[in-house]
Each structure stands twice: as structure tokens, then as C-alpha cells.
Structure 1
Amino acid sequence: MSFSSSDDDTSALSLQSSLEDLSLEFTTDRKFIRWANANPRHPRNWTTNRKVYDTAIIIWLEFFTTAISASGASAAADAQHEFGISHTLSVFLFISIYLIGQSIGGIVFPPFSECFGRRWLYIISMAIYCISCLTTGLVPSISGVVVGRFFSGFTSAIPTAVVPGSIEDLYNAKDRIVFIFLWAMLANTGLLIIGPIMGTYIVSGLGWRWIFYIGAIVIGITTGFLFNLQESRHTILLENEVSKLRKVTGMQELRALNPDHVPDLRTFLQSAVFRPARFLVTEPIVFIVSTIASIAFAMVYLFTEALPAVYGDMGFTTQTSSLPFLALGCGFLLSSLTRVLDHAILDKLYREGKPITPESKLIGFSIGAPVLALGLWWFAWTIPPLVPNVHWIVSATALVPVGYSLNEIDTVLAGYLADSYLSYASSGFAAMSFLRAILSAIFPCSLKGCTLI
């Protein structure tokens, strides 16, 4: 609403005083209420300790759930004998079903979090994830695996697709580089290093069901810590602040600046749930970025199946055949050097007074794309049977540039979407998550000689 000079002076002064007390202000057209720049209740102005706690716990969720996801390859190899099924069908049950669930959750949850908040979504989803892991381990049938893996994948879409939006809530463009990098690096570490190695040793020592028992225990404990998480969606918090303002002033006509407001479920479904799908088919940036990132990410799941087989043929044991994943981790560490270069570029732009655009942060992708091609060629031409009698260290060394480039592509393109779509970063990333989950579900089943019968 707008206020003219005929408004009661006392009411106007009272309103202005209340706005200042709550660190709020009118938009320039005086129709809506918005945050004042230094409002301490805006997520970007929270204390460092508060932001570090929230960021650490949601990144931990992504790290651990991806590790459990990658452990599915080890579980599949062991469970196929118990259920009397082919290896590829077992891979489909333990990995592909999980990723199909994640692809669906990745479309639904991000816009929901943008409209209704993130905190309770994290809490409820992780509680369901815990139950789903128990279902996978406890139910002695294939149907239990299908239900458990689908719903654990469905709820794992929260940290996978919503965390970039939470990071955008909390940090400015410069700081986002660091936290998007940490999120992507730890997720890839869980997926490509901890998950395969942990899964191999757990299955060898305790059996495949203990992968999911441990997953349920750890996520169950983490869910308790999530209750101390603060809501970070700034439009939801602004609505709460304006609600306080209405109570103080008695002016029920005051409205928050909230582009995410949805009056009913139908409007939500039309404008929000289909937003990621709309982005994917109508936004060239989202389509191109999603396609490139999804192919690179799907290779991660392909490696979780391929590397144990490759190095098993070279004489490695079941346990040690997972250790070449450590070479990928060395590549991840090299990504920290690119972040130093990122900061040098941004500091130069700040000093010169030039604007920082999303394209200013693409240097890692420019390096990572050709390095990935080089690393894959190197690896492919140094493993048997096409190239016999080559020491395993030669091909394992090729995994270092592969790990570097996979991490760079994932980190940089996720950050690019976050910077390009800002408040709608979760929806932009949901489109990418959907496509990469679908490809990741397909790639492990595409190895030569695999059938579903």
C-alpha cells in the first residue's frame, strides 16, 4: 500500500519508528516492506558462528548421504548372491532406484523450500532417510530394497539440491565461492572416495546390510543436531518480521516483499513445482550447464562400478581394489589451487571497481573441461586388455586429473547457477540435479556385458 500526506501524522511516525526498531524499510514505491541493509536478522548478517554451524551441518548431510549412495555398489555386489539375481539387476536395485528417487525429489523439494522454508524440510527428510535405511537393511526381500532405496534417494535430494540455495541465503557472491567449493568437494569425496572404500570394508567385515544400519545411526544422530538449525529462507523470515509489524502498528494492510508467496496449492504446483522443469527446457543456460555437469557427474557412478573391476583384473583384492579412488581424492585437493586463482581474479575486479558476474568465476571450468578429456584418454589407454603389461600406477595416476576436473566441473557449474539465479538458485540447481540423477542411474548399468536378466 502507499501512504499519502493525508495519513495521520501520529500513525506515520509510529510506523516509521516501528520500521526502524525492526530494521525494515519500504520499497521505493512504498507498496511493500523489505529488509534494511544492516538488519541482523537477515541470514547474510547472522554471526559467523551461527552461519558456520548451519553450513557445516547441511554440508555434512550431503557428504554422508553421497557416501552411503556410493556404498550401494559394494552392497549390490554382495546382495546379488543372497537374492540370486544378476549383478546388473542388483546395481539397478541399489544404485539406480536410489537415483531415480533422487531425481524426483530434486524436482519437488527445491521450489517447496523456496516457498515454505528450508529448516523443517531438512529435519523431516533426514528422519525419513533414517527410516528408509533401516527398511533397506531389515526387510529380507527385494521389495524392501526397492522401497528403502527409493525413499532414501528421494529424501537425499534435500542436501543434494537444496544446499546451494541455503548457501545463497547465507553468503554474498564472493564468499559463496568458498562454500560451494567445500560443498561440492566434500560431496565428491563422499561419492568417489569414502563411499566406495567404506562400503568395501563394511561389506567384507560385517555384510552389506550394515552399510544401511550405519547410515541410519549416523543420520539419526545428525537429525537431532538439525533441530538447532535456523530457517535461512529470507522471504519466510521477512514475512515473520512483517507479521510482528502488523501486530505492533495494527496496520493489517502491510505486505512483505515476497515473490515466493503462493496463495494456494494449485498456484504452488503451477508456479513453483514446475519451475525447475520450465528452467530446464526454456533457459539455455540451465539446459547447457545441466547437460555438461550431469555427464561429468554420472561418470562418478560409472567409476564406482568400473574401478573395482579394472583393478581386480590387475590382481587387487576386493578390499584393495577400492584404494585407487584415493587418486581421485588427490585431484580434488588440487581444486583448492583453482579457488586461490578465483579469489585473485575477484580481488582484481573489486580493486578496479568492475562488477562481478557469474562468468567471472568460470576459470575452473575452462581448465577442468580439457583436463577431463586428457585424463580419460590417459586412463583408457593404460589399462588391460587393450594395453597389457602396464603397471597399475600409470592408470591410477591418470585418475588425479580426472578427479580434479570432475570436482571443478561440479563446483564451478553449481556456483554458476547459484550466481545466475540467486533467489531461485535451488530451482535452477534442481533442474541440474534431476538430469544428473537420471544419467547417474543409467551409467552404472551401461558397462559392457551387463544385462537385466
Structure 2
Amino acid sequence: MSDSGPSTPPSPDEKPAKVQFNDNFAGKLILPTEEEIQNDPYRRRASSRRVSRRMSKALAIADILEQERQYVIGDIIDLDTIVEADDIEEATTRTRRFSSVVAASRKSQASTKDWRELEEAGDESSGEDEDYLIEWEGPEDPKNPYNWSKLYRFFCLFTVSMQGFCVAFYSSSYTAGIPGMMAEFGITNRTITVLGVSAYLFGMGVAPLILAPLSEMYGRRIVYIIGMASFTIFIIPACVAKNIQTIIIIRFLGAVSGSVGISNAPGTIADIYQSADERSKAFAVFAITAMNGPPLGTIIGGVLFRYLGWRSINYFSLIAAGIFFVAGFFVAETYGPHILREKARHRRLTTGDDKYFSRFDFPPATSLATLLRRNFKRPLKMLFTEAICLAWALYLSVIYALLYMSFIAYPVVFMGLRGWEPQIAGLGFVGILIGTSAGVATDPLSRWGVRRHKVDPETGKIPPEALIWFACVGAVLASIGLWIFAWTCDPGIVKPWVFCILAGIPYGLGTTVVFTNGWNYLLSSYSIYAASAMAGNAISRSFLGGILPLFAPKMYSNLSPAIASTILATLATALMPIPFIFYFWGKHFRERSPMLLALAAQSGI
């Protein structure tokens, strides 16, 4: 297994190391030889359906590799740590020569004696297949998103980032209006209203597994438009709801559709920015909006609730979502494979010749159901069988849950104990807001630390574990922030309020760097399976993040806020060693990972 990670530049006389695919893996991507066919009576009697099915399987393998590479690039923060694009391209190229065979088998019945003729027709060396291959029209093709103007690409980036901000903002702004909903609907149990937060997080956990294959088959633009349209529409019932049950159900549906603004945005960044430096800067723009959405939601929501009532929070979100939904109509399709597929389809329609194809065309047997099964099966399998995935899912899920528990705890502390007005109590989240912003800004420091690590002599690259050195720092800072808040939140213990606000700075900073560097480690470790590793992490994070906040009202009412917060700080501290364990012994876990061993055995990666 090649360790992904920023590597030192090769010397002029030294060629960069390249991944080699062994013969066993290559054999899975090609058709049986003529000798195999002649020696096997069953194969001699094989119909064109069997031939097409074998070729479809080969193309599907290469397509999965290509699509996984797209997701990895889309989700990654340190883009230098992934497997090189040429490595995946090699696997894809191995099967391109069979594309014309698949096209021919769609309408005609090919006998086994046509194998050799069809194979030669599909061989790149013949040159015939290339005449029908649809690709970019040169390096400066205006339809290639990489060639769009800088201004338009920034508009696309800003639009999808703000769509993600609207979704993140709506997730937490709801908590600012909980007192108003309890008063209007006659609710005495605060846990019932907290279900609105949990339902939202559950929706955000399920949705990416559905949205990923949808964007893979139909392109990003249509998924954005439908998703944001549904998200905007689902806010309307919350504006006029007559009971809490309606709000809870609508928030779940809104999260399922609206999470497209968060789950697909990193992929869009990869679509329109080519260099690692550009992508890093673009991801910083997206991260600022995504990470600051929750704390800003509570701050702005508190002001809106105080002066205009709890329904105004929903109306504000409706207006913001509507604005950026309309702006999304001016964002063209950015997903290169889909653009080329549509270009090939258009050429077939205009010429009447079915031979035209793109190398991103799906095999005839591929369906949305197939992609959905793959998106659900592999992430869950990795989550429960891979020690790396399981440990990081547990840690990141708890940190994520604690963040959303703070949206319940802060109002109790600042309004209940300290007697602040709602519009002022929201300012308690300023510390977290400053911390999350600082966490995004520390990315250059994190990269500097990675470059100072020694190169692994076995791979010639810096090991993935170098990526989590700053996550270790973040784990300590997050725990420190929670302990400071626990010991200063009660005015009976520490009267000045400034200390519990300042506690949010190390907590927000630590949480942000733990997330960004922890994700980066998963992406780097699992190469082409990184998207599945991230999907499993998202499932556990959203579900645990939705469950734990349900206990917050009882904890803070039955226990004192100081004791409840101490319990949470203890939990974070107990799990704090996880980043350190993987920093020092991560290679040990990777070398014993069933999936990584299988990947190395099959592909030599």
C-alpha cells in the first residue's frame, strides 16, 4: 500500500514512483483470451449477452475507480496526499479499448467468433475507436470547468459555499427559538423540542449516501437545484407550523434535501479548480462558511427571536435559502464526466450514430439502484470492520455531538443561570465563532508541520500519520476549552462571564482542527476507498450527534450545569488519546487493515 502524503520533490535524475497494477488485478479488467474461449466449450457457446456482461463488469471496475477518485479529490483538504490521478487513469485506460465492443453489443448479437474482430476494433492501437471517443477539445476547451474565467469560478464557489452556509445556519438557529416554541405550543418537556435538532442531524447523515450516486449519474447541477429547491420549500411549513410534530418532520426532510449544499460542495471545488494550491484556497472559503454556520445561527437566531419571535428565524432562513437557490441557476454543470457523457449523447442524437461514446459512459447494466447499494454497503462494512474507521468515527462523532450539545447548554447557562436576554445570550457563542475561524486559518501551520516529518523509507513519501500531528494539538485544546467552560459556567463558582465565553475559543479551534486533520488522515489512508470511509464517518457522526443532544436538557436540569459540563469534558478527555495512538502507531493499524491489504494485493497500490 502506497502511503499517500505530501512528498519531497524527486531529483532531476530520479523518476517519480508510479503505482503498478499486478497481473491479477489486470485480469479482472480484461476479456478472456481467444485460447481460453476455444478451450472452454461453455465460453464457445456464450451469447453476446455474456460477452457484454463481462465487458460491462470490466468497465464498471474502472468506472468505480474513476468515480472514487473524483470523490476523494472532492472531499480532500490536503490534495497532495491522495493517490496520483495517473495511477487511477492507468486502470481506466486498460478497459477503454472495450468501449466500442459494449456499444456494438447494445444493438447487435455478436458471436464468439467475432471476439477477435471486436477486440481489435476496440484496441486503441488501431485508431478506429479514437474516432468516436468524445473528449475535451484540447487543453483550452471552454466547456472544461478548469478553463472558465476566475471570476465565474469564484461565483460558483461562493454560491455553493453559501448554500452550505444556509443549511448549517438552519441546523443551529432552531435552538435559539426553542423557548418561544415551548411557550406557544404548551410544551413543558424541553427534550421534545430538541428532537428538531436530532431529526435534522439524522437527515444530514442519511442524505450523502443518496446524493453521491445521484450526482454521479445525473450531474451536480440538477442535484443542487432539486435539493436546494426542496430545502427552501420545506422551510415554509416550519414558518406556519401549528405544532412541534410538523416542525420535527419537516426539519428531517429539509436536512435530507438541503445537505446537498454541504456534501457536494467539496466535489464542485475539485471540478473547477485544478491545482492543489487553488483547491486549498477554495476549500478554505467553503470551510469558513460551513464551520461558522452553526455558531452564527445561534447568535443571529437569538437576536431574531428576541425582537421578532421564533418564526422569524425560519423566515430569515427561507429568504437566505431562496436567494442562493436562485443564484444556483446561474451555476453551470461542473462535473467533467457528466459533461462529457452529455456531449457524447448529444453527438449520438445529432448524427444518428451510436458509436460515439465517452470513457465515462456507464455500462448498460449500471443503474441507480446499483450505485445506491454500493454507497450503502461499503461504508457500513468499513465502519464496522476497519479499526481506523471505527476509532475515528467514534472520536469525531463524540466531538460533533458535543458541539451540538453546546447549543443546548449555552442558553441554559447564559439565560437560565446568568439571566441574559435572548438577544444577548447568543453572544455567548462568539468564542466558538472565533475559535472555528482561527481553526481554518491555521491550515498553513498544519501543512508546515507535515513537511517537517521524515519521509518513510519504504514508500519515499511522508506517512499519512504526519497529517494528524495537529489533530493531537486540537484534541488537547478542545478538552481544555470544555474544562474551562465546566468550571466557569456557574456564576456561583466564577462570577465574571468572560471566562466561559473565552473557553469557546480553544474549544472551537480544537474542534475545527480535529475535524479537518482527522478527515484528511482518513482520506490519505484509504486512497480510492476514501469516499466510502468518509461516508461511514458521516453516518456515525450525524446519528450520534443527533442522539446525544437529546440527553442535554435532562443533564442540565437534573444536574447542575457545572457537573453536566464536567461529564462532557471528561468524555472528551477520555477519548483524547485516539489521535495520539494513530499518530504513533497508525502504520501498525494500516498494515493490518483487511481492506488495505486486499487493495494492495489486487492493485499493488
What is the 5 A alignment of 1:108-147? 108-147=210-249
How far did 1:127 drift?
0.9
Counterpart check, 1:449 vs 2:554: yes
Superposition map of 1:166-315 within 5 A = 166-171=268-273, 172-192=275-295, 194-243=296-345, 250=353, 252=355, 254=357, 256-257=359-360, 263-312=366-415, 313-315=417-419
AA paired with 1:184? Answer: A
After superposition, the Cα gap between the structure-2 partners of 1:47 and 1:275, relative to the gap in structure 1 and judged at 3 Å, is farther
In the alignment, the residues of structure 2 paired with residue 389 and residue 182 of structure 1 have an alpha-carbon distance, to the nearest angstrom, of 37
Distance (Å, rounded) in 2 between the aligned partners of 1:345 and 1:249 = 57
- In 2, distance between residues paired with 1:99 and 1:329? 20
Name which of 409, 424, 431 aligns with 2:514: 409
Alignment-derived partner of residue 375 in structure 1: 481
Per-residue CA distance 1:83-133 (angstroms, 9 max, x = gap): 111342443342122222222223322232233322111111111111111
Q: 1:96 aligns with which of 198, 213, 217?
A: 198
1:149-201 deviation per Cα after TM superposition (whole angstroms, max 9, x unaligned): 12112222212322233334344545444333433332221102x11111111
1:302, CA displacement in angstroms? 0.8
Q: Residues of 2 paired with 1:127 and 1:191: CA distance?
A: 21
What is the distance in 1 between the residues matched to 2:531 and 2:152?
21
What SS is found at the alignment partner of 1:256?
coil
Q: For residue 392 of structure 1, what is the aligned residue in structure 2?
A: 497
Amino acid at match of 2:401: A
Q: Give the corresponding residue for 1:29.
A: none
TM-score, length basis structure 1: 0.82
Partners of 2:363 and 2:324 lie apart in 1 by 29
Residues 327-349 of structure 1 deviation map (CA, whole Å, 9 limit, x = unaligned): 11222232255212244457789
CA distance in 2, matches of 1:169, 1:286: 27
Q: Kindly indicate whether the alpha-carbon contact (under 8 Å) linking 2:305 and 2:422 is maintained by their aligned counterparts in 1.
A: no
Single out whichever of 129-138 and 403-412 deviates more from structure 2. Answer: 403-412
Name structure 2 gaps, 5 residues minimum: 1-96, 101-116, 454-458, 558-605
Q: CA deviation at 1:411?
A: 2.4
Distance 1:262 1:287, change over 3 A: farther
Q: What is the identity, as a one-letter code, of the residue corresponding to 1:80?
A: M
Tell me, in whole angstroms, the C-alpha distance in 2 between the residues paired with 1:325 and 1:101.
Answer: 25
1:31-64 Cα offsets, whole Å, 9 max, x none, are: xxxxx87766444554433332222111111112
CA distance in 2, matches of 1:133, 1:419: 37
- Structure 1 distance, partners of 2:255, 2:264, is 14
What is the deviation of 1:70? 0.5
Correspondence for 2:152: 50
Q: After superposition, give the CA deviation of every residue in 1:325-381 in whole Å (9 maximum; x if it has no partner).
A: 1111222232255212244457789xxx97577555434313211111222222222
Cα distance, 1:15–1:103 mapped onto 2, change above 3 Å: closer
- The one-letter code of the counterpart of 1:166 is T
Residue of 427, 431, 434 corresponding to 2:539: 434
TM-score (norm 2): 0.63
Residues 290 and 7 of structure 1: CA distance in aligned 2, closer, same or farther (over 3 Å): closer
Separation of aligned partners in 1, 2:219 and 2:264:
11
Cα 1:287–1:303 change in 2 (3 A) is same
Partner of 1:322: 426
Residue of structure 2 equivalent to 1:86: 188
Shift of residue 269 of structure 1?
Answer: 3.2
Question: Structure with the greater relative contact order (CA < 8 A, sep ≥ 6): 1 or 2?
Answer: 1
Determine which structure has more spread, i.e. the larger CA radius of gyration.
Answer: 2
Deviations 1:244-302 (A, max 9, x none): 66677946174514679862344233223434333433444433333222211222211
Distance 1:288 1:388 in 2: 36
Q: Secondary structure, in 3 states, of the residue corresponding to 2:422?
A: coil
Amino acid of the residue matched to residue 402 of structure 1?
Answer: Y
CA distance in 2, matches of 1:430, 1:389: 42
**Identity score, percent:** 26
**In structure 1, how many angstroms separate the alpha carbons of the residues matched to 2:195 and 2:313?**
15
- Name the aligned partner's letter for residue 127 of structure 1: A
Moved more, 329-338 or 290-299: 329-338
Contact 1:73 1:196 in 2 (8 A): yes
Q: Which amino acid aligns with 1:65?
A: V
Q: Take 1:43 and 1:357, find their aligned partners in 2: how far apart are those partners?
A: 32
Moved more, 205-214 or 249-258: 249-258
Confirm or deny: 8 A CA contact 1:14 1:249 kept in the other structure.
no
SS state of the match for residue 323, structure 1? helix
Shift of the 422–126 alpha-carbon distance from structure 1 to 2, 3 Å rule, reads: farther
Label 1:252 to 1:186 Cα distance change in 2 as closer, same or farther (>3 A). same
**d(CA) in 1 for partners of 2:135 and 2:523?**
29
- Against the structure 1 CA distance between its residues 67 and 250, is the aligned structure 2 distance closer, same or farther, given a 3 Å change threshold? same
Distance change >3 Å, CA 361–CA 173, structure 1 → 2 = farther
Corresponding position of 1:33: none
Name structure 1 gaps, 5 residues minimum.
25-35
Residue aligning to 2:24: none
Q: 1:327 to 1:57 in 2, by over 3 A?
A: same
Q: 2:64 maps to which residue?
A: none
How many angstroms does 1:226 deviate by? 0.7
Q: Hey, what's the Cα distance between the residues in 2 that align with 1:90 and 1:430? A: 29
Q: Residues of 2 paired with 1:136 and 1:260: CA distance?
A: 43
Q: Does 1:150 align with 2:216?
A: no
**CA 7–106 in structure 1, closer or farther in 2 if over 3 Å, else same:** closer
Separation of aligned partners in 1, 2:387 and 2:126: 47
